[in-house]
Amino acid sequence: MPELPEVEVSRLGILPWLVGQTVTRVVVRHRQLRWPVPEALCLLEGCPITQVTRRAKYLLLHSTLGTAILHLGMSGRLRILPVGTPPVLHDHVDIELANGQLLRLHDPRRFGAVLWTEGDALAHPLLASLGPEPLTDAFNPDYLWQRSRRRHSAVKPWLMDNHMVVGVGNIYANEALFATRIDPRRAASSLSEAECAALVAAIKTVLQRAIAQGGTTLRDFTRADGKPGYFVQELAVYGRAGEGCVVCGHPLESLRQAQRTTFFCPYCQH
C-alpha cells in the first residue's frame, strides 16, 4: 500500500501539471471504487485547479468550486498522460486539462477513492478527526510524550493510529523504532521523554529521506512519472526477517501486531 512518502511524491509529481490548469473534462469509467465516485465530480469541468495538497494519505485537488479528494488505496497510482491516451484495464478516472494532459487513476483492486466536497475540505468526515502531520511542528516530543501517558497498547501499532499522528505506516514505523532501538512490543506508556524526542526525530528523518528518494517501491507503487522510488534499498529491518541485523549481525525477527507484520532486532531493540 502506498504510504505517506509515496503519496507526497505523487503530489509533487502531479502538482506542476495541474496547478493553474482548467479542467476540460472528467471521465469516470468505473464508479464503484472504495466508495462510489460521485456525479458531482463533474463540477470540476470548467474550473481551474488552484492547489494540490495532501492530508495524511489523501490528495486534495482544490478548485474554485470545491475539492476532489483522492486516495490511492492498496494499489492505486496516478499518471500524467497526453489527452487521448487509450485507457487500459483498471484505468478508472481521468481528469483532462486545458494543457492537453490528463491525470489518470489506475487502481486494480479498486480500494482507492475519488470524492468531491465543497467548502472546507479539511472538515470532510474522512479528514476532520485525523491527528497532526508528522512533518509539521505540531508533531513534537512533548505531544508524543503527553499522548503516550496511560496508553498501554504496543508502541508500534499505536504509532500507526491516524488519530494520534497521520501517515506513519507499517514500513516507516518499523524503521523509526529500529533507528531509536525501541522494542515495538513495549507499551507506549513505557516511553521516556528522551525516547519520545528520539522517536519524533527518527520518524521525521525516515519520512523525509523516503520522500527525497521517491518513496519506497514495493509491488504496486511507481511515481507519477512512472519511475520507481529507491528508499527500499535503505530499509534496515522491514521485510528482512531472518537476515542479519545491520548493527549487531544477529537474525532479525518478525511478528504480527494489529494484523500487520512487525520486523525488529531482539538484540538491539529494548
- What would the pLDDT profile of 80-124 be if each residue is shown by its tens digit? 999 999 999 999 999 999 999 999 999 999 999 999 999 999 999
State the pLDDT at residue 234: 77
Q: Quote the CA–CA distance of 245 and 229 in Å, as a whole number.
A: 23
Res 220 pLDDT > 70: no
State the pLDDT at residue 219: 46
State the pLDDT at residue 231: 57
Res 179 pLDDT > 90: yes
User: For the ranges 48-52, 67-71, 169-173, 248-252, which has the lowest average pLDDT?
Assistant: 169-173
Query: Choosing from 3, 8, 96, 195, which is the catalytic residue?
Result: 3
Active site residue 234: no
Res 230 pLDDT > 50: no
Residue 213 pLDDT grade (very low, low, confident, very high; cuts 50, 70, 90): confident
Res 1 pLDDT > 90: no
* Contact call for residues 26 and 45 (beta carbons, < 8 A): yes
Query: Choosing from 54, 57, 79, 156, which is the catalytic residue?
Result: 57
Active site residue 79: no
Q: Quote the CA–CA distance of 259 and 270 in Å, as a whole number.
A: 22
Beta bridge partners of 79: 104
Q: What is the mean pLDDT of the chain?
A: 93
Cell numbers describing residue 229: 522510488
**φ, ψ for residue 181 (rounded to 5)?**
60, 35
Query: Choosing from 48, 132, 260, 266, which is the catalytic residue?
Result: 260
Cell numbers 529491518 correspond to 237
Mean pLDDT, range 167-171, rounded to an integer: 93
Residue 216 pLDDT grade (very low, low, confident, very high; cuts 50, 70, 90): low
Active site residue 3: yes
Active site residue 260: yes
State the pLDDT at residue 214: 77
- Select the highest-mean-pLDDT range: 1-10, 40-49, 220-229: 40-49
